[in-house]
Amino acid sequence: MTVTALIVAAGKGERLGGDVPKQFRELGGIPVLRRAVIPFADHPRIDNVLVVVAEDAQEQALKAIGGGFRTDLVIGGVTRAQSVRNGLAAVKTEKVLVHDAARPFCPADVIDRLVDALDDYPAAVPVLPINDTLARWTEVLGETIVRDDAVRVQTPQAFSLKALRDAYEKWSGREPTDESTVARAAGLEVRGVAGALELEKLTTADDWRRAEERVARRTVSRTGMGFDVHAFAGEGPVMLGGVAVPHSRGLAGHSDADVVLHSITDALLGAAALGDIGEHFPPSDPQWRGMSSDVFLVHAAALIRQRGGTIDHIDVTIIAEEPKVGPYRSAIRSRIAEILRLGEDQVSIKATTTEGMGFTGRREGIAAQAIASIRMAGSA
Cβ atoms within 10 A of the Cβ of 349, count?
24
Identity of the residue numbered 372: A
Question: Which stretches in the chain have pLDDT values below 70?
Answer: 13-18, 67-68, 218, 377-380
- Looking at residue 17, its pLDDT comes to 62
C-alpha distance across the termini of the chain, in Å:
36
| Nearest-angstrom CA–CA distance, 181 and 188 | 10
- Looking at residue 253, its pLDDT comes to 86
Identity of the residue numbered 195: G
- Looking at residue 145, its pLDDT comes to 86
- Looking at residue 377, its pLDDT comes to 63
Does the predicted TM-score (pTM) go above 0.75?
no
Q: Hey, is 356 helix, strand or coil?
A: coil
- Looking at residue 104, its pLDDT comes to 92
- Looking at residue 218, its pLDDT comes to 66
- Looking at residue 236, its pLDDT comes to 86
| Nearest-angstrom CA–CA distance, 77 and 54 | 7
- Looking at residue 19, its pLDDT comes to 74
Instruction: Enter the DSSP assignment of 193.
Output: E
| Nearest-angstrom CA–CA distance, 107 and 195 | 9
Cβ atoms within 10 A of the Cβ of 26, count?
12
Express each pLDDT in 122-175 by its tens digit: 999 999 999 888 888 888 888 988 888 889 999 999 999 999 999 999 998 889
Beta bridge partners of 97: 5, 158
| Nearest-angstrom CA–CA distance, 91 and 104 | 21
| Nearest-angstrom CA–CA distance, 292 and 142 | 65
